[in-house]
């Protein structure tokens, strides 16, 4: 079955750009049926949706992060990526990638497959 795996630096300096990659295995990222998403969770706090991308490259971002976020897709590598610029300590969190799909024949979307997450700490 499809599996997702996050990767990237675990430590980023303030004001720099956080870069993470999600590798999709067991299925094609180019499928018309799915979006791909990033979600984060500060330690001990709730989930925050960051954004999503379709295989065509079309994106939607959380308005609170939109000015700093870029999500991209590399179909040749079966990966999608997150870049978050000008990071501060408030960006320290567990970052998850996930697959979004719709219930068959509907437009009811949900996040059905998640990666295990990767911890990113912003500190000098």
Partner 1 sequence: DIQMTQSPSSLSASVGDRVTITCRASQIISNYLNWYQQKPGKAPKLLIYAASSLQSGVPSRFSGSGSGTDFTLTISSLQPEDFATYYCQQSYSSLYSFGQGTKLEIK
Host H or E run for residue 70: strand 69-74
**Binding residue for partner 1, selected from 60, 70, 78, 85, defined by CB under 8 A:** 60
37 sits near partner 1 (criterion: CB under 8 A):
yes
110 binds partner 1 (CB under 8 A): yes
Phi/psi at 90 (nearest 5 deg)?
A: -65, -15
Listed in sequence order, the residues at least 6 apart from 100 whose beta carbon sits closer than 8 Å to its beta carbon are 34, 35, 36, 37, 52, 109, 110, 111, 112
Closest CB to partner 1 among residues 113, 122: 113
Query: Which residue from 10, 32, 43, 46 is in contact with partner 1, where contact means CB under 8 A?
Result: 46
70 sits near partner 1 (criterion: CB under 8 A): no
């Amino acid at each position: 079955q499809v599996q997702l795996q996050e990767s990237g630096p675990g430590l980023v300096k303030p004001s720099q750009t956080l870069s993470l990659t999600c590798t999709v295995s067991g299925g094609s990222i180019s499928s018309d049926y799915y979006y791909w998403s990033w979600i984060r969770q500060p330690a001990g706090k709730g989930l925050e949706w960051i954004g999503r991308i379709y295989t065509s490259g079309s994106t939607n971002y959380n308005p609170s992060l939109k000015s700093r976020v870029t999500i991209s897709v590399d179909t040749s590598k079966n990966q999608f990526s997150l870049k978050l610029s000008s990071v501060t300590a408030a960006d320290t969190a567990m970052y998850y990638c996930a697959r979004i799909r719709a219930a068959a024949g509907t437009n009811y979307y949900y996040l059905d497959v998640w990666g295990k997450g990767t911890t990113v700490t912003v500190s000098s």
